Amino acid sequence: MRVIPRTEKHHQPEISIIKSLREPNLKQWSISLAIAGILFVALFSQFFTNFSGPNTTSAPHSALRNGLTAGFQYWSNQQSTGARGDSRWHYYLSMLIAYEWVILFIALFGVWKIIQQPTLFNQTIMWWALGGLIVYSWAAERMPWLIIHILLPTIIIAGLGIQHIWETVSTQKKRKQIACSAALVLLIFVAFQSIKTNFDDPGEPNELLVQAGQATPEVVAWTNQIFDLNRVFYAENGEHLSVQIDSDIFWPYGWYLRDFPTSTYAKITVGNTATLSASPDIIFLPQWDRDLAQNLVDEYAIFPYNHRWWWVPQYDAGLSNLADTQTLLTNWGKWMWNRTPWQNIQGNPNGCPSALAGHVYIKESVLSLAQKTEVWNSPHLTPSLIQGGSLC
């Protein structure tokens, strides 16, 4: 009789992620959660100075409750309506090619390394990069700052690409010299572009990264003017200026005027014009609400005001019409070289930078005091790219 040996039962090794979660003890978990909690409270309470919250339509609750719920509710609503952001599914691909083409090029070598050496780490990074690109390209609200979630894993893949290139050329002196020279040239280019984007043009609408209504230089100019006016007004009258800002142009004044004692924000509509009956010293209104303040014209000096500006170019018209391909490439080339904004292929200027405009109302008595005390800086004359509401 033949005896069949008993087969030992093999246990599957524990998944690395689960094993990693089990390793920290209770103290380590407590410290980690405490650090996260302190950072959360600090950021959403403006570093422990404001726990009441801004009390706006999109953030109506306390600061901490807004931090827990308002963001998710906002993104959920945007996903159902698709009301804001760029509508093209390939938006992030366009942005990566425009600003991070060097990273993308080197990342191709990293992808080849991952294919050749499919380790757990390599596959995880690849999954992270592709998953982020797919999810964020699918999500309704596509904004420049969200590109970081796609760019970070792509940079890691580019690092793997550099490792692969170095391992390939390090044994051959001539190839190594060529690779180092190319890396130096690319590094200089990336540094130049980064400095130009972040320091020379940090808020200019001809940068594709400036989207969703970047505040114009007039916002800072008017903020400084308000504080200067308030200083002399308080010295003269013993009380602070009353400043009213329509909630449609609330941001970023909610931050700039966070220490200003009497700034208020209200949605000024036909049924809510009572908010103007108190006759504030300074009023900020968007252009569509100007008619609501007609009864105040005689008492106030009125100044034109540009609150936000943006540029929504037509990226890909040449893809659907081969005859326009040369124009498309020319537009991209000029933008890559000196950030020249372009009209769309058909010549329609709607894609060029434009502004959310409005008016600032200042009581004649307050303006007279400012001019008398020489603190009037004419913020409405702040140098701006906008001329006639458009750059094109």
In tens, the pLDDT along 277-328 reads 567 889 898 888 777 777 767 788 999 998 888 776 766 654 555 566 777 7
Task: State CA 254 to chain mean position distance.
Answer: 17
Beta-bridge mates of residue 264: 244
- Answer with the residue of higher pLDDT: 209 or 370: 370
The pLDDT of 46-68, averaged and rounded, is 80
What's the confidence (pLDDT) of residue 367? 93
The residues near 223 (Cβ < 8 Å, ≥ 6 apart) are 253, 256, 257
Lowest-confidence region among 128-132, 146-150, 167-171: 167-171
Whether the per-residue pLDDT at 104 is higher than 90: the answer is: yes
Q: Report the C-alpha gap between 49 and 255 in whole angstroms.
A: 12
The pLDDT of 122-150, averaged and rounded, is 89
What band does 249 get if pLDDT is binned at 50, 70 and 90? confident
What band does 61 get if pLDDT is binned at 50, 70 and 90? confident
What band does 152 get if pLDDT is binned at 50, 70 and 90? very high
The pLDDT of 17-40, averaged and rounded, is 85
**pLDDT tens-digit map of 158-198:** 999 999 988 888 788 888 888 888 888 888 888 888 888 88
307 DSSP 8-state letter: E
- CATH number (3.60.21, 3.40.190, 2.60.40, 2.70.98) of 214-311+353-381 reads 3.40.190
The pLDDT of 80-101, averaged and rounded, is 77
What's the confidence (pLDDT) of residue 225? 94
How many CB atoms neighbour CB 246 within 10 A? 21
Among candidates 191, 166, 256, 261, which has minimal Cα distance to 218? Answer: 256
* pTM for this predicted structure: 0.68
Lowest-confidence region among 23-37, 257-271, 293-307, 331-345: 257-271
What band does 62 get if pLDDT is binned at 50, 70 and 90? confident
What's the confidence (pLDDT) of residue 348? 46
Domain boundaries, the chain: 28-73, 91-200, 214-311+353-381
